[in-house]
């Protein structure tokens, strides 16, 4: 029997497996919407007591939080696959990768993946997930743009960030976006966002767990039209509903969750943002 990987409570390891478990939970609750066998397999390999997390995610609010994670994962997968149709040999760059396996699900056999995160996260990722062919893990701070030189974007590049930019200062997100557009002119950047109301709400949940209390300087987005002013190197900016813009789950969820879907769209403005950079191959 394969030895299980122990996960300590109140550590970086624990924060990394929560999104993974959320996807596994949705796969069980909504198998017709989310078939995430890999998330379930990885969770089964971990020596960790999921019982308290499972109890929380079986509540109305907890299950909706899991739905948010699963929807975001699928949204970004869609964007990666669409980009690969045009640039099949491109670089697929996961910004703040954690234990996300988006590349492996979207892999067309020709593209190349780069997973970027802090060294302690990359070490955990190597232990739990290993590395597949055409996959490189880079231990680096996203705001240190020296990692750009490690990416071969000559055949295209899609950069995606899943639940990551909320931890970064607004000005750093702007600088990163502009620098990527200059360095990879045929590329695109895709990420999730919410407005300041959503960001404030996060301080009471998972940002608090990360020790972040001053949300005012962190990233939030009131309207995607603001993004055009970030750089002269953007070709296009578009946005879609985070929860309903790709796979609309309205008819598959409870009345309480319908209310929360409306709240996500209209009050906290949860969106998937896609920025197309200035050039073509």
* pLDDT for res 256: 97
For 53, other C-beta atoms within 10 Å of its C-beta total: 19
Render each residue's pLDDT in the chain as its tens digit; 281 residues: 578 899 888 788 888 899 999 999 999 999 999 999 999 999 999 999 999 989 989 899 999 999 999 999 999 999 999 999 999 999 999 999 999 999 999 999 999 999 999 999 999 999 999 998 899 999 999 999 999 999 999 999 999 999 999 888 899 999 999 999 999 999 999 999 999 998 888 766 554 554 445 545 578 999 999 999 999 999 999 999 999 999 999 999 999 999 999 999 999 999 999 999 986 55
**Within-domain flag for 167:** yes
DSSP-derived 3-state class of residue 278: coil
**Burial bucket for residue 175 (CB in 10 Å: 0-12, 13-18, 19+):** middle
Cα torsion 78, 79, 85, 90: sign: negative
109: CB partners within 8 A, 6+ apart: none
Distance of CA 58 to CAs 19, 54, 55, Å? 15, 6, 5
Is pTM beyond 0.85? Reply is yes
Distance CA 67, CA 91 (A): 28
> In this predicted structure, what is the pLDDT of residue 153?
97
Interior/surface letters 7-33, b for 16+ CB within 10 angstroms, e for the rest: beeeeebeebbbbbbbbbbbbebbeeb
Please count the structural domains in the chain.
1
pLDDT confidence of residue 26: 96
Residue 207: predicted pLDDT:
45
190 in any annotated domain: yes
Sheet holding 157-161, edge to edge: 135-139, 112-117, 91-95, 157-161, 188-193, 271-277, 234-241
Q: Give the residue from 161, 162, 174, 160 showing the smallest Cα distance to 221.
A: 174
Kindly state whether residue 50 falls inside one of the protein's structural domains.
no
Residue-number span of the structural domain to which 96 is assigned: 73-277
Residue 120 lies in a domain: yes
Q: Is residue 230 domain-resident? A: yes
Q: Does residue 221 fall inside a structural domain? A: yes
Q: Find out whether 38 and 82 touch, Cβ atoms under 8 Å.
A: no
Is residue 27 situated within a structural domain? no
Per DSSP, helices labelled H in the chain are 12-29, 37-44, 51-57, 60-86, 102-106, 119-129, 170-183, 196-202, 206-209, 255-266
DSSP states of 187-199: -EEEEEE--HHHH
pLDDT value of residue 210: 46
Looking at the domain assignment, is residue 234 inside a domain? yes
Q: Is 221 in contact with 195 (CB distance < 8 Å)?
A: yes
CATH no. for residue 269?
Answer: 3.40.50.150
Instruction: Select from 211, 212, 176 the least CA-distant residue to 191.
Output: 176
């Amino acid at each position: 029997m394969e030895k299980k990987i122990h996960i300590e409570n109140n550590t970086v390891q624990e924060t990394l497996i929560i999104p993974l478990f959320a996807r596994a939970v949705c796969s069980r609750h909504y198998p017709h919407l989310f078939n995430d066998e890999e998330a379930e397999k990885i969770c089964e390999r971990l020596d960790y007591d999921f019982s308290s997390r499972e109890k929380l995610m079986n509540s109305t609010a907890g299950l909706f939080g899991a739905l948010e994670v699963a929807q975001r994962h699928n949204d970004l997968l869609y964007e990666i696959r669409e980009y690969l149709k045009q640039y099949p040999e491109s670089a697929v760059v996961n910004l703040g990768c954690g234990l996300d396996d988006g590349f492996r699900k979207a892999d067309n056999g020709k593209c190349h993946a780069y997973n970027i995160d802090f060294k302690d996260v990359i070490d955990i990722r190597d232990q739990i997930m290993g590395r597949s062919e055409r996959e490189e893990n880079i231990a680096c701070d996203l705001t240190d743009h020296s990692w750009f030189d490690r990416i071969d974007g000559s055949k295209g590049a899609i950069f995606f960030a899943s639940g990551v930019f909320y931890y970064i200062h607004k000005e750093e997100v702007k600088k990163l976006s502009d620098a990527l557009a200059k360095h990879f002119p045929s590329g695109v950047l895709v990420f999730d966002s919410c407005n300041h109301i959503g960001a404030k709400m996060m301080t009471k949940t998972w940002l608090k767990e990360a020790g972040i209390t001053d949300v005012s300087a962190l990233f939030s987005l009131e309207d995607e039209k603001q993004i055009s002013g970030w750089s002269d190197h953007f070709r296009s900016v578009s946005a879609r509903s985070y929860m309903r813009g790709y796979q609309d789950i309205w008819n598959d969820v409870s009345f309480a969750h319908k209310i929360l879907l409306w709240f996500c769209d209209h009050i906290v403005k949860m969106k998937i943002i896609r920025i197309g950079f200035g050039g073509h191959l």
